[in-house]
Structure formats: C-alpha cells, structure tokens
Amino acid sequence: MNEWWRGSVIYQIYPRSFYDSNGDGVGDLAGVTSKIDYIKTLGVDGIWLSPFFRSPMKDFGYDVSDYRDVDPVFGTLADFDKLLDGAHTVGLKLIIDQVYSHTSEKHEWFAESRSSKNNSKADWYVWADAKSDGSMPNNWLALFGGPAWSWDTQRQQYYMHNFLSEQPDLNFHNPEVQSEILDIAKFWLDRGIDGFRLDVANFYFCDPELKDNPPKKSNGGFDRPYKHQLHLNDRSQPENIIFMEEIRNLMDQYEDKMAVAEIGSESYIARSIEYTTPNRLHTAYNFMLLENGPLSAKLIRDALESWTSDEAWPSWSFSNHDVERSRSRWGGINASNEFTRMLLNILMCLRGTIFLYQGEELGLPQGQVPYDKLQDPEAIRFWPNNLGRDGCRTPMPWETHEPYAGFSQVEPWLPIDTQQQALAVDVQVQDENSCLAWTKKCIHLRKEQTALRLGSIDFIETPEPILAFRRTYEGESLVCIFNMSESEISRSLAITFKKILFGIGDYKDGKISLPAFGGIVIQEN
C-alpha cells in the first residue's frame, strides 16, 4: 500500500475564497482548476478541498442539503470531475471535506423526519420530548451560542444541534443513518477522490440517555457559554470509535486512500491518538497548535511530545478556515516577515502530515472585516469579543494592482484586505526573497529529506526562546534549531556537525548563532 499521506504536505483550499472564475464574487471549482499549476509549483503533495456541496450556506457549506451534488455557486459535478482530473494529471492528490455529524435543516431527510413521529426517517435525527415543565431535554449547549436544542412546532419535539439551529444533528445510533453515510462516502470514493477530511469527527454520537454535561471549573472565565461545560455526553462517545472503524473498513477496499479526522476536544492529543490507531483512521489533527498561545518552544514541544503513540500518525497545522491566521495570532499586528518565515520553517520540519492553509504561503495576516461586512454567524453572534472566522476567509490576493486583488471582477463576498493585497501572488512570485519563495524552499527541503517526512522526533534540552529537535530515519540524522525571539542569540550546543542544509544562521565551534526568528537545519555525521 502506498501511504502517500504519511509525512506529506497538503494544501487546504477554501473554495469560496480561492478564485472566482465566473464573476459572481464567490470562488468556485473552475477557479480552483485554473490555479492547479500554481498549487503544483508550491511543491505540495495534495489538496484538501473544503465543502462545495449543495447548501443553503447558513454556515457556508458546512450545512449540507445534498451530499452527492455540487452547489450551483461552486459549479457542477462535471466541474468537480475536471478539477479532480486536473489535480491527478499534475500528480496532486485530492481529499474532500465530509460533514457527517449534521445536515442542513433544508435536507430532504430532515424535512421528512420533522413531518411526524412515525415516518421512515423519524429516527434519523436526535429528537427528544420536552420535560414536564416544557423545558429542554438537558443542559447541552451549542458551540455557536445558546442551547443545543430547538423546538419544532410541526413535530412537537426538540431537536439537537451542536452548532447552528439550522444544522440538526443526525442520530448515528440508527443503523440506517450509518449505512447511508457509508454509501455517501462510497459515492465519492468511486468518483476517484483520494481521501476525506472528516469534519468534527468525534461529534457523530451523543449519549443515548441524553444525560446532562457537568460544569467545568473555571480559573479565569470563559469567552462563551459552551466552554462552561465538560462535554462528556454530547460528543466523543465510545460508539463513535466503532464507526471510525467502519469508515476505515470501507476505505481499505480502495487503493491508496486516506482519512484525516478533525478532533474538537479539550483532550487534544489523547483524543486524536484514540481516533488514529491502525484499524481506525489514517491520521488526525487537533486544535492544540491552532487555539493556544503565546507561541513558545514549550508550546511546540508539548504538542509533539504529547503524541506518545508510535502506531498512530499525527497531523499538524498552524492555520485553517476556523482560526485567526498564525502570523497575527502568534505575532500580533506588527509581525515581521522573518517571524512568518520562521513559522513556515518550523511547520515543515515537524513529524506528521502537514496542512498548509491557502495564503499561508504568502505570509498573509488576518484579514480585517468591518462589522457591516461580516458574514460568519459565529462572528456576528459573539462580536466584538470574538471576531469569528471571516478574517481568515478573506479572498486570496492574486494581483496587487487589479481591482479586488485579481480574485474576482466584481465585489467579493468578503472585502479585500489592503494589507493582504500588498502580498499578492504576482508580486511574490517575482521576488526570490519573498515568503512564497521561502515556502517553496521549505517544502522542497521536506521532500528531499526523508528524515523530515518520516523520521522520529526527539527534542534537545534548550532554554527559551530556542526550539531544537532531532529528526532521525534509518541512520540519517538532522538537527533543527530555531530562535523564536526578535533578538539575535548565540549559545553552545553539542551536536555532531556535518553541514548546514538549510536556513538562516550558523554553527561553528560548538556554538549556534541565529538572528531574530532565524533557524537552521543541520546534517549530522
């Protein structure tokens, strides 16, 4: 079996914001296809494509109304097939998002389920009677605010939703639901995709008795009600793991496929490992390096050393469509290009599969979106304390001097950020010192050095702000050293030196010398 995903670099595309090919202000599948050559030049191994399925777009595609069709705003199934063929022609893999835990309220399954208590899909969603006083079945909360229950006047029951009220949760305790979901996966596998990214993969099952969640002890307050609870009963149930094995059994019937789970849990690493033992999913990523800060050598080391399993394979990302871009999240509004290049260098040296979010190769900061332009329901709900996800979803800047940064010929669905536009592709592709050029070099180094893709990782004892670790594979040993501060450092470090393979800095007479946010990769004897 070709485990192409192990140690690979996968480029995440949020199609709505990547490139608009038809002038409606929204990116589409044909737009992605038109940029395949650009993606290939990055040196990545594949693409993760965020949802493009039919949807009312209450959560911009994560509320699916038809799992087997493309939403017209993105194109057609024929457009998807062209994209898939285009990716495969240049040697890129293509994995697609699958949102199984919930559907849109506009899905025909939910329309039938809510019509009565005894129809053929009556038990396809999580329904519950009101308590004797008319109140909700339990204390569960929705991640986007408010209770996890909404009253349906037609059925005269509450239905559960972990996210928006327009995203009712499927009842995976029903074998018919499981069978239908596996059939949807088969539909796309038969079409030729290379794998799945499973959205909120640990949210499929809830406690069948609907027991209350206990409170969480606070030592400083929470920014939203959801975080006041320990989510012991509304997610991460034992049955969830069994269904992961069913997905894996299906995928093993095809050649060279992979599945990566998104794990949302306070038990970041432990839960990820649980989902990626050999008979379950191929890999998983979590939010330990997406939500936490400030950035430090300890944060990186704690994340990597927490992955204690040799059998399970990790995945890592610093940015995605759900969190503030890493340049701004960790570096603030005045983050330098040197800081951004350091982040890319560290990411490409980590053990695991790497996910690189669109625009990260350009060193984009978080986009600025004024309140009256916000689209994200989470941003609108929690404004101004939480600016939501629009800032990381602003359109990809392709051309500096074109209207709307060359993303579209008309005003895009989210505004163009002028700071991002100055970092457009057309400017950077001509500059050998640009962040884009640096990204390509970092990815090339990873592909050339088997120890970086597949090797073990062992951290070297160094004080902050130095991050140092050794990557080893079949007798080959590389030492990666980074200065995570804005001041030059010089320090003794005993290693077996052969030569510097990559980076900015020096090693001489047993001493490392690194400029602000510098880093080097050293080949040992």
Closest CA to 58 of 308, 375, 501: 375
Give the per-residue pLDDT at 419: 96
How distant, in Å, are the alpha carbons of 298, 469, 496 from that of 464?
8, 13, 22
Identity of the residue numbered 286: N
Closest CA to 284 of 302, 265, 301, 300: 265
Query: How does pLDDT run across 514-524, given as a tens digit for each residue?
Result: 999 999 999 99
- Residue-range domain boundaries for the chain: 9-103+175-203+228-367+398-446, 456-524
| CATH number, span 456-524 | 2.60.40.1180
Residue 384 has pLDDT above 80, yes or no: no
Buried b (16+ CB within 10 A) or exposed e, 123-143: bbbbbeeeeeeeebbbbbbbb
Q: What's the average model confidence in pLDDT over 460-484?
A: 97
Query: How does pLDDT run across 66-97, given as a tens digit for each residue?
Result: 999 999 999 999 999 999 999 999 999 999 99
Q: Answer whether CATH 3.20.20.80 is correct for domain 9-103+175-203+228-367+398-446.
A: yes
Residue 13 has pLDDT above 70, yes or no: yes
Whether 390 contacts 414, CB under 8 Å: yes
The percentage of residues in the chain with a pLDDT greater than 90, rounded to a whole number, is: 93
Q: CA–CA separation, 459 vs 186, rounded Å? A: 41
Average pLDDT for the chain: 96
Residue 106 has pLDDT above 90, yes or no: yes
Give me the catalytic one of 105, 152, 199, 324: 199
The encoded tokens of residue 148 equal: 């996890």
Tell me which of 155-159, 239-243, 276-280, 409-413 is least confident.
Answer: 276-280
Whether residue 262 lies in the annotated active site: yes
The encoded tokens of residue 199 equal: 């959205």
Residue 367 has pLDDT above 90, yes or no: yes
Whether residue 199 lies in the annotated active site: yes
Distance from the first to the final alpha carbon of the chain: 32
Give me the catalytic one of 45, 152, 234, 262: 262
Q: CA–CA separation, 332 vs 324, rounded Å? A: 11
Residue 323 has pLDDT above 80, yes or no: yes
Give the per-residue pLDDT at 29: 98
pTM above 0.85, yes or no: yes
List of residues 6+ apart from 332 with CB closer than 8 A: none
CA triplet 328, 352, 10: central angle to 5 degrees? 65
